[in-house]
Structure 1
Amino acid sequence: MVRIEPFEVEQWMDRLETTPGVLNVAETCAASVSVDDLVGMCEDDAAPSPLLLSKKLTYGAIRGSETLRQRVASLFDRSSDAESLPAENVLITQGAIVANFITFYTLVGPGDHVICVYPTYQQLYAVPESLGAEVSLWRLKEENGYVPDVSELEGLAKPNTKLIVINNPNNPMGSTTPRPVLESIVAFAKQRGIIILSDEVYSPLYHSLPTGQDGPPSILALGYEKTIATGSMSKAFALAGIRLGWIASRDKAIVDAISAARDYTTISVSQLDDQVASYALSEPVLHPLLARNTALARTNLGLLSAFMDKYAAVCSWVKPTAGTTALVCFKGKDGVPVDDAALVLDVLDKTKVLVMPGSPCFGLGRDFRGFIRLGYVCETHVLVEALARLGQYIEGFHLTAPVQN
């Protein structure tokens, strides 16, 4: 039997996010939009309806509609000198979580070695391990802004290293791996024939980079064929409810292999989901949608930054530059990190504010004790109220919050 470890962040979310009256700032998607919202954003009055209600609901195109795959492919052209990605190099999936899973399912197994950045979404290291691969964690360091240190790869790589897994922007840190670092990772992998999987589900929300720094390109833009990018409509595009993601690669053979494995899990995605995603990624809608989500991220990060400044005696962080999440460390009166799992439950009980604990959801052993993950690209009024309640909690209860032994 395959050994499956509990997927902690999903378990925590499932248990707690339906708490009556909850203010959910654990959610990691940009504040969701409706189909009516998309229509209202559309800059072309003559654009067709997002849903063709008269179309028969067959299985549809097995790999995703040609229109959708073309529009996903065009997302990879940003900041790229490479040739445009063909639509046939894109495979549509039921969310990025399925995209990542079937990529691992296809490519790794017993006898393989995988290098994965850490911390990151638990799936990215737990699934290859469950499939029998050996996994080495590429630990991101606070002093490096949680950006991978490429000089460490030589010590991590083995003769049987099959895959290097990165996450850009990073969940939960909200850090950005810049282009020069990506280029160095590609150079290392290319020299050894190692495949790179880049989970780009929070791309292109590079909303708070240092002045003069551009958002990095997709891993597919850097001239190495053995690269894979996964993504979805959930995070940067605010459409988690349609459950639609993708896998893309410069290597058509990789896409074909994953497509063959996908036959055992999925025939096709919903035609309705495909149509809504195609509409959202159309030129008249894509730009206003991303502008809306980027502006929301910048506004809300400003509010969160002000909160961090106000409570600097209790809270610390490396300020995010991208994505929708931040990892914040809470310390008690003696400077010792609090018991983050107990803190999350106590905050929820006393304030109805939901955040995620860092150590069970993103740490191994005692890593990230005292940290909570906060999703700040919710509706602004939700964040304002949640931060106000968290501030009241800190002022009233933080001195008695339980601490780690």
Structure 2
Amino acid sequence: MVKIETFDVEAWMDKHENHCAYNIAETCCASISIDELQALSEDKDTRPVFSTSQKLTYGAIRGSDELRSHLARLYSARLPTAFPAENIITTPGAISANYLTAYALLGPGDHVICHYPTYQSLYEVPKQLGAEVSLWKALPENNWTPSIDHLKSLIKPNTKLIIINNPHNPTGAILKKPFLEQLIAVATEHDIILHSDEVYRPIFHSINPIDSGFPPSLLSMGYLKVIVTGSMSKAYAMAGIRVGWVASRDSEIVEKIAEARHYTTISVSQLDEQVAAYALHPNTVHSLLARNIQLAKTNIEILSKWVLKNEDEVEWVKPLAGTTAFVKIMRDGKPVDSVDFCKKLIEKTGVLFVPGSECFGQEFKGYVRIGFVNHTDVLKEGLSKVTQFLRKELDSVEFAE
């Protein structure tokens, strides 16, 4: 029997997210409705979001041609060679894409290096499959960027896969272009596959695209043995359609993942894929992303002012991208117990945060994850409640052990 550890962040959200007044833990851009999506499109009248006459078969097993062509177009931007649509496979969400990548490629005897802290399934699923996992740790004193020298020290003769998350959950940090170039050099030297979870791309709210460090998708940097996973959930504000994808220029890797996929979901819902294709169509995608990036820019400023207002109790490394911030809560200069803090916070105020020490690793004492790209009024009101809690109730919260 496979040993399955509790998926701590999902267990926490499952327990609390439908019973709070202010969900400032959600990692998606504020969710959008079909009506709102259609209103963003430049073609509101002639093109339906989905067909009601199409037969509900399994559909295209590897993903609809329209959806995959839109994704290929996005990955081909500013590149001399177009990305082939046949090298994309759709999945029920990025969590399935990440699972299939591990399931297709890893087993006993393999070694994996995983960017850390991060979404738990990225390192737990390889363990479940029998692979050995080393955590490539990022630290706040280095702006949550891990060390290339540390990476080199972790590599073994049987290292098969290096996993990164860029932009990063929970910190909102990014691995910049020069860093990615160094990463590719290391992977090339040792013939290691790179897997980049890019579900928060392209929500870049605090770095300019003309910045020399601005990170391209790893898929566009010339290394063949790259796998990228993405989703409609985070940057595209549509977690309610379960659509994700796996993309690689290496056709052999794509075929291995396709074979593994036959044993899992077979295909993705036709209706979900039609909605995703509508959202990623050139008539819609630019307005949709503009809406979400502007929301992120507006809300990061609100969060920044809140951190400054509460600087005696709160510290952070300001995020550059994505939808999350990893914030340290202190009392008298000492980190509080983040689980006790989050439990008392929701009891007293209805505000939901995620406790870092429970959901991302015991070493993250005092840390909480905030999901800030929700509706602006929810963020404002929720943070106001947190400020009141810090003033009146923080003394009741236990210190971290």
Please report the TM-score for the alignment, with normalisation by the length of structure 1: 0.97
CA deviation string 1:123-146 (max 9, x = no partner): 111110111111111000212211
Corresponding letter in the other structure for 2:229: T
Match in the other structure for 1:11: 11
- Aligned 8 A contact 1:161 1:194 in 2: yes
SS at match of 2:229: strand
Match in the other structure for 2:135: 137
Q: Does 1:165 align with 2:185?
A: no
Match in the other structure for 1:107: 105
**How do 1:233-252 and structure 2 match up within 5 A?**
233-252=232-251
Unmatched segments (≥5 aa) in structure 2: none
Q: 1:75, CA displacement in angstroms?
A: 2.0
**How do 1:126-205 and structure 2 match up within 5 A?**
126-205=124-203
Q: Does 1:96 align with 2:94?
A: yes
Q: 1:78, CA displacement in angstroms?
A: 3.6
Matches of 1:344 and 1:274, distance apart in 2: 37
Matches of 1:121 and 1:400, distance apart in 2: 30
Q: C-alpha root-mean-square deviation of aligned residues, in Å? A: 1.2
Q: 1:212, CA displacement in angstroms?
A: 4.9
Match in the other structure for 2:335: 337
CA deviation string 1:184-215 (max 9, x = no partner): 11111012110000000000111111695263
Corresponding letter in the other structure for 1:12: W
Q: List structure 1 runs of 4+ shifted beyond 2 angstroms.
A: 44-47, 77-81
Q: Does 1:264 align with 2:260?
A: no
Distance 1:42 1:394, change over 3 A: same
Matches of 1:247 and 1:47, distance apart in 2: 31
Matches of 2:66 and 2:111, distance apart in 1: 37
Q: Does 1:370 align with 2:366?
A: yes
Match in the other structure for 1:2: 2
Matches of 1:350 and 1:161, distance apart in 2: 48
Matches of 1:211 and 1:35, distance apart in 2: 30
CA deviation string 1:96-147 (max 9, x = no partner): 0000001101101100000001001011111101111111110002122112
Corresponding letter in the other structure for 1:258: I
Distance 1:376 1:158, change over 3 A: same
Q: Does 1:380 align with 2:379?
A: no
Matches of 2:78 and 2:164, distance apart in 1: 19
Q: 1:400, CA displacement in angstroms?
A: 2.8
Matches of 2:208 and 2:389, distance apart in 1: 32
CA deviation string 1:243-280 (max 9, x = no partner): 10000001011111101011010111000000000000
Please report the TM-score for the alignment, with normalisation by the length of structure 2: 0.98
The share of aligned pairs that are identical, in percent, is: 51
Q: Does 1:39 align with 2:7?
A: no
Unmatched segments (≥5 aa) in structure 1: none
Match in the other structure for 1:356: 354
